[in-house]
């Protein structure tokens, strides 16, 4: 079968990551670790596993970081290669192992990709998995599978940017009738947004700011508005097409960088804050936004976030860029809270203590949210080079989510 595969050695990875900015074409050469390859269909690794034929599979921002060799090498101990990429899927079960209950061939499902204790066959789950938080599992290098945090980033569980993938029964969620394949395949980024919406103790009347309106930013705006309809959401985005999408999902205003005096003045006007302008640095707001959700994570966006947050505000880090020197002064001056956000979990705050995946599918089934039209570009696996070109130039192609119908 065809599969988008990652196979590398460290020098090759470093060289590709260095060259790609000057010479994007390097990603299509034999130097690049990611290529469409012909490989055998996966086997079920155990009785509790199913085979899934993808209907549609999304290309995630994290996948693009792997393709371009920009993912931090800090992640290296928690991965194993070669692997088949792809963790965002809506597909049909075509085979179920003998110990699978509750699911059968023909079921349309999506997959919660985290590979915690259950898929690893670890009988005494760690404290995080036991409380429904497999994204924090401490055993991701142990058990029956090779190292890997999630499906599509480990040699053990081939991903869904392929003609056939697999999943453990504990990872499956049935897609309700009436929910589109596209919406189901967006459950991963939308659940990430829901996780933040539940984990931040947001009070009525708060002003929230989402930085970056790519897939993660838009999914976060949708999630914040779904869980806290009264919250004001301001967005920060430069691209006009993505700004329009943010407004469509309920953002009250979209503010454009550059983060200069004008920018701080606009945020202050929208939040009734006071602007203070130090002699040699960017301005600082007292008053301002209650929480920032930064999907970019660059030096500029982190610095700007700390400056616009109100006293005792929260900075949520979703995206991770390559930040350099940060002036942390506002963190102590304003007693800010910095919070990392990764994945999704069972949410104590959700009605019925649901997993974010269940909430995402339910909100779609109830017609309260529809993210289907975020899938703007769909390709065949053979069209991989074209898909990557669009993914790397989303503004130019008016693209949000790029997906494949294998």
State how beta strands 108-111 and 172-174 pair: antiparallel
Identify which of residues 117 and 202 has a Cβ nearer to Zn ion in the complex.
Answer: 117
CB of residue 27 vs Zn ion: minimum separation in angstroms?
A: 19
Question: Pick from 32, 89, 90, 117: which binds Zn ion (CB under 5 A)?
Answer: 117
Site for Zn ion contains 126 (CB under 5 A): yes
129 binds Zn ion (CB under 5 A): yes
Q: Cα(48)–Cα(1) distance, rounded to whole angstroms?
A: 23
Where residue 373 falls (left for φ over 0; alpha for ψ -120 to 50; beta otherwise) is: alpha
Q: Which is nearer to Zn ion, 188 or 239 (CB)?
A: 188
Closest to Zn ion by CB, 63 vs 239, is: 63
Q: Which is nearer to Zn ion, 27 or 60 (CB)?
A: 60
Among 5, 57, 139, 200, binds Zn ion (CB under 5 A): 139
SS3 of 66, please?
helix
Return the residues of window 326-385 that contact Zn ion according to CB under 5 A: none
**Which region, judged by CB under 5 A, interacts with Zn ion, from 4-12, 138-146, 217-225, 381-389?**
138-146
Q: Judged by CB under 5 A, does residue 284 bind Zn ion?
A: no
Least distance (Å) between residue 340 CB and Zn ion: 16
> Closest distance between Zn ion and the C-beta of residue 175, in Å?
17
**Residue 116 contacts Zn ion per CB under 5 A:** yes
Residue closer to Zn ion, measured from CB, 117 or 289:
117
71 touches Zn ion by CB under 5 A: no
Whole-number minimum distance, CB 138 to Zn ion, in Å?
6
Q: Scan residues 181-240 and list those touching Zn ion (CB under 5 A).
A: 188
CB of 87 or CB of 225, closer to Zn ion: 87
Strands (DSSP E) along 97-212, which ranges?
108-111, 165-168, 172-174, 207-211
DSSP 88: E
Footprint on this chain of Zn ion (rule: CB under 5 A): 60, 116-117, 126, 129, 137, 139, 188
């Amino acid at each position: 079968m065809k599969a988008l595969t990652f196979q590398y050695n460290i020098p090759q990875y470093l060289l590709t990551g260095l060259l790609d900015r000057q010479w994007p074409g390097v990603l299509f050469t034999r130097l690049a670790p990611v290529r469409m390859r012909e490989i055998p269909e996966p086997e079920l690794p155990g009785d509790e596993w199913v085979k899934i034929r993808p209907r549609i599979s999304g290309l995630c921002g994290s996948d693009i970081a792997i393709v371009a060799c920009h993912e931090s090498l800090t992640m290296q101990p928690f991965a194993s290669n070669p692997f088949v990429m792809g963790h965002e899927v809506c597909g049909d079960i075509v085979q179920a192992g003998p110990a699978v209950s509750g699911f059968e061939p023909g079921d349309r499902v999506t997959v919660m990709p985290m590979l915690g204790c259950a898929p690893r066959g670890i009988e005494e789950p760690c404290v995080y998995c036991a409380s429904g938080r497999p994204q924090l599992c401490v055993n991701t290098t142990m058990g029956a599978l090779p190292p890997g945090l999630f499906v599509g980033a480990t040699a053990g569980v081939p991903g869904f940017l392929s003609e056939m993938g697999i999943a453990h029964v504990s990872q499956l969620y049935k897609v309700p009738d009436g929910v589109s394949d596209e919406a189901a395949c967006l459950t991963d980024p939308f659940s990430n947004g829901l996780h933040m919406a539940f984990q931040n103790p947001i009070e009525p009347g708060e002003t929230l700011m989402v930085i970056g309106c790519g897939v993660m930013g838009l999914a976060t705006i949708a999630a914040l508005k779904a869980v806290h309809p009264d919250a004001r959401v301001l967005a920060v985005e430069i691209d006009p097409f993505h700004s329009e999408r943010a407004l469509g999902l309920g953002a009250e205003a979209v503010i454009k960088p550059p983060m200069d005096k004008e920018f701080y003045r606009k945020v202050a006007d929208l939040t009734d804050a006071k602007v203070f302008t130090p002699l040699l640095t960017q301005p600082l707001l007292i008053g301002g936004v209650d929480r920032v959700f930064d999907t970019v994570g660059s030096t500029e966006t982190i610095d700007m976030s700390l400056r616009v947050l109100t006293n005792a505000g929260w900075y949520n880090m979703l995206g991770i860029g390559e930040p350099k020197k940060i002036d942390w002064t506002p963190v102590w001056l304003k007693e800010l809270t910095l919070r990392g956000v990764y994945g999704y979990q069972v949410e104590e705050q959700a009605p019925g203590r649901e997993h974010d995946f269940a909430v995402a599918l339910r909100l779609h089934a109830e017609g309260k949210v529809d993210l289907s039209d975020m899938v703007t570009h769909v390709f065949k696996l053979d069209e991989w080079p074209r898909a990557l070109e669009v993914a790397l130039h989303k503004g130019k192609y008016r693209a949000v989510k790029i997906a494949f119908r294998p």
